[in-house]
Amino acid sequence: MIEGLVVKPGEPAGLGGRDPGDRLGLDDKDEAKSERDELLERLHELQDRFWAEATRSVLLVLQGMDTSGKDGTIEHVFHGMNPQGVRAAAFKVPTVHELAHDYLWRIHDRCPARGEIGIFNRSHYEDLVTVRVLGLVSAERCRRRYGHVREFERILSDEGTTIVKVFLHISKGEQAERLQARLDDPDKQWKFRAGDLETRKRWDDYMACYEEVLTETSTEWAPWYVVPADRKWVRNVAVARLLVDTLELLDPRFPEPEENLSGIVVE
């Protein structure tokens, strides 16, 4: 399942040839739910060890167009996990204070500590994609940032953070349905912004920019994975599998207990 999702370093991301509706071999929602539940059980076990070990960290980066499911992924994949060991950060429009620093300053401050699984809901990649499409930063300046980001992520990796970058790949048709669903449901209208429609008009520009950015910043130490996101149940299984595979490779262990504990009786 996962091998075909990776953007191999040095090769094009190929978003145009990747199907946002791919089922990744899953037959239906019931099969997906069963597999997701098994993965989450395993994920909880691994997280307990990882938090106790407290020597390394994992960073999950979630990027994608509006309605691609960043919030939903966090809700369904991290449900029931020990909150002490999970650190989520949502990067919105920079504040005046954040703009007074370099664009990576606020990012580094929110990276996970040892023992934590960090989640970036949007990330430093907004400063490579969104600012370029909106004309806030020139294309030339954004392209210089590719090198910044590759080396920034290399620093994190060298210092013990395993980075898992996920692009939630949604189709334009599915986005239209989800935006309309927000408008039609009074309980979800708060999520809708008029600016969402302006962003949608620039769909091709965003996708072309993401194609370039993913191609240029998928590295051996921080690869990109393109997860089909038209079906939420496929998306959830894929991201859960990525995290389980990542933690199993790290193979966290509980610390050794103190010496001379045998024979102690708590009265």
Reply yes or no on domain 3-250 having CATH 3.40.50.300.
Answer: yes
Q: Greatest CA separation found in the chain? A: 71
Which pLDDT belongs to residue 3? 83
The pair of three-digit structure tokens given for residue 138, joined into one six-digit string: 């020139």
Which pLDDT belongs to residue 237? 97
Which pLDDT belongs to residue 49? 96
Which pLDDT belongs to residue 225? 98
pLDDT < 50: residue spans in the chain: none
Which pLDDT belongs to residue 193? 85
Which pLDDT belongs to residue 62? 98
Question: Which DSSP helix (H) or strand (E) runs through 75?
Answer: helix 70-77
d(CA 244, CA 159): 21
Question: Any idea what DSSP says for residue 255?
Answer: P
d(CA 176, CA 187): 18
Q: Where are the domains of the chain?
A: 3-250
The pair of three-digit structure tokens given for residue 166, joined into one six-digit string: 């996920």
Which pLDDT belongs to residue 2? 78
Residue 31 pairs in a beta bridge with none
The whole-model pTM stands at 0.95
